[in-house]
Amino acid sequence: MKIYSSPVAPSPRKVLIFIAEKGIENIEVENLDIGKMEHKTPEYKKIAPNSRIPALVLDDGQVILETTAICRYLECLYPEPNLFGDNPMEIAEIEMWYSRASFELMLPLMHGFRHTHPHMSALENQNNEFGLAQRELAVKSLSYYEEVIKGNDFIACDKFSYADIQIVISLKFLVRLNRINLNDYKNLSAYINNIAERPSFSYL
């Protein structure tokens, strides 16, 4: 198997952390340079027509796109250590939190970055008003998650899961790009720092 990644993008990092947590060693990693538009080449579009990263190419040539779909596939192949839950309640709770984090944190932070950051002007048809509104939504969500995570080491089931990967990578990557000071959120900062000490996060 081969995973197409990029060291500057958050979604591939989530997959690489997932792979590291699983201890999977038989997946080749090929990094694409987004700045050089290597994800827009005809060669890569044959793999991922939407030019999205990451993409997992299986040994038989089949391709799986989207971060969660890739991680779900790998969870089925390598069920231990379990990162999506091992009973109905755990599965539901973990899925609830990574889905909520995607919509409540990652999406508004991503839109805020894409539509307001000067470095994205060459890649996006920016709408500054929309970007600022999304940033405000993100700030409200950060305040909410600041209370949710208080006194907890993990977001779901009292154990490390895919939901923690989703939240921590999104926050580490996107908060500073939105010029939001994460130090204003002491509980979230402590949570992120604790998770980031895991060996799987060491390359970040």
pLDDT of residue 128: 78
The residues, any chain, with a CB within 8 Å of residue 159's CB and separated by 6 or more, are: none
Class of domain 2-77: alpha beta
pLDDT of 203 higher than 70 = no
Contact (Cβ atoms closer than 8 angstroms) between residue 101 and residue 164:
no
* Average pLDDT of every residue of the chain: 91
The residues, any chain, with a CB within 8 Å of residue 143's CB and separated by 6 or more, are: 185
pLDDT of residue 45: 96
Per-residue pLDDT tens over the stretch 45-87: 999 999 999 999 999 999 999 999 999 999 999 999 999 999 9
Integer distance in angstroms from the first to the last C-alpha of the chain?
23
pLDDT of residue 126: 76
Per-residue pLDDT tens over the stretch 86-141: 999 999 999 999 999 999 988 888 877 777 766 666 666 778 788 888 888 889 99
For the chain, the domains span 2-77, 88-201
Entry pTM: 0.89
Topology (CATH) of 88-201: Glutathione S-transferase Yfyf (Class Pi); Chain A, domain 2 (1.20.1050)
